[in-house]
A = this chain, B = another copy of it.
Amino acid sequence: MALKVCVGVDVGGTSIKFGLFTNNQDSGLQLLDKWEIPTNTSDAGSHIIEEIASSIKAKIADNKLLPENLDGIGVGVPGPVVDRSIVRSCVNLGWGMLDVRKALREALGETGEFAHINIVVENDANVAALGEYTIVSTRKAYRSLVMMTLGTGVGGGIVIDGQIMSGMNGAAGEFGHMPVLYDETEYCNCGKKGCLEQIASATGMVRLAGRRVPKDTIDRWSAGDSKQLTAKDIFDAMANGDSQAEAVVDEACSYIATALANITCVINPEVIVIGGGVSRAGNVLIDRIKKYYNEKAFSGCKDVEIILAELLNDAGIYGAATMGVTG
C-alpha cells in the first residue's frame, strides 16, 4: 500500500505554516516535516493560494512522494468560513470573499494529478481547537471540547464528536465578543462595547493595568517604558509578589470565568483548553480561572476539565491536517 500523507496549512497574516504528516491507520497523524513561508499580502493577497500550492508541490517532490500519496489538505485561515470552503473576508490577508477550496484546487490542478485530494478550509481558531482535540483525544475519548485562545485578541473553537462546529456564518466560537463588561466605555475592534476581548486578551490585560495601576508601578513592571507594557510583564510582576499585578490578573480571570460559565451552560463540554500567548503564563492562569469558574458555573457543568493548550503554535497545522484526512 502506498504511503499516505496529508498536509496541514495555517495561514497567518505574517507567515504561512505547513505540516506534512503521515496518516497511518494505527498511529494516526505523525508529523514528518514542518516549514513556513512569509505571507505575501501584496496585490490584495492574490498570490497566497498559488504560493501555498507551489510550496506543497515542492515539499511533496522533495520528500520523493507522488501526488497520489497525498490524501488531503486542510487549511486554517484568519476569518469566518462557511461550507468548509468559502471565507467571507480575511482582513489580515487582504481577502474579500474567496472560495479557498476551489482556488487551491485550481492552483494545484493544471495537470489533474492532485484532483483526487480532499481539501477542507476552516477558521484558524476552530482549526486550532481541532488540533488540541486530536492531542487530548489520544488520552481519553472526549466527545466535546471548547478551546479559548487568549492572544492579541480572544478567539475560540468548538469540537463536537470530532467535528468543528462552525455556525451559520462561521462565527461559532467567537468568544472574544461575548458581552461581559457592562460598564465599558471604550469600543472593541468589533464596533461594540464590553466584549470579553477588551479585558481578557493580552492587550486587554495591559489596558486594564493602565486603568487600575499607578503609572510609576507600570514603569517599574515595564522597565521604564510603560507604552511597551505586555501581559507577560504583568504575570512576571505577579510572580514577584506584586499584589497590584495579582489584582489585574484576578479581574481578567474573573471575566474569563464568567464567559466560560456562559459557554458551559450552552454546550456543557467535557474539556476546556486555554491557549494563545497569555496561556504561556501556565498554571497560575489556569488555577485562577478555575477558582472563579467554580463560583460562577452551573452545578451541572462544574466537572468540566480546564487545561492548558499543549500544541501552541503547532495546533493549527495539526488541526488542519486532521480536517484534511477526515473531510
Give A residues with C-beta under 8 Å from B. 80, 143-144, 158, 160, 165-175, 177-180, 182, 190-192, 194-195, 258-259, 261-270, 295-301, 303-304
Contact = CB atoms under 8 A, between A and B. Distances in A.
B170 A268 contact: yes
B265 A168 contact: no
Which 6 pairs across A and B sit closest by C-beta, in order of nearness? Answer: A167-B268, A171-B300, A177-B298, A171-B268, A172-B268, A262-B262
Nearest to A142: B168
Contacts of A194: 296
A171 B263 contact: no
A325 to B, nearest CB: 22
A171 B265 contact: yes
Contact of A267 (B80, B143, B167, B182): B167
Given A170-B268, A175-B266, A179-B261, 8 more contacts: A160-B160, A168-B270, A170-B300, A171-B265, A177-B265, A180-B262, A192-B299, A262-B263
A31 to B, nearest CB: 30
A174 B75 CA distance: 34
A301 B88 CA distance: 13
A191 B172 CA distance: 30
Contacts of A266: 158, 172-173, 175, 178, 262-263, 266-267
A174 B268 contact: yes
A300 B268 contact: no
A144 B167 contact: yes
B267 A169 contact: no
A267 B177 CA distance: 13
A190 B298 contact: yes
A251 to B, nearest CB: 12
A174 B298 contact: yes
A195 B167 CA distance: 26
A180 B265 CA distance: 12
Contacts of A174: 265, 268, 298, 300-301
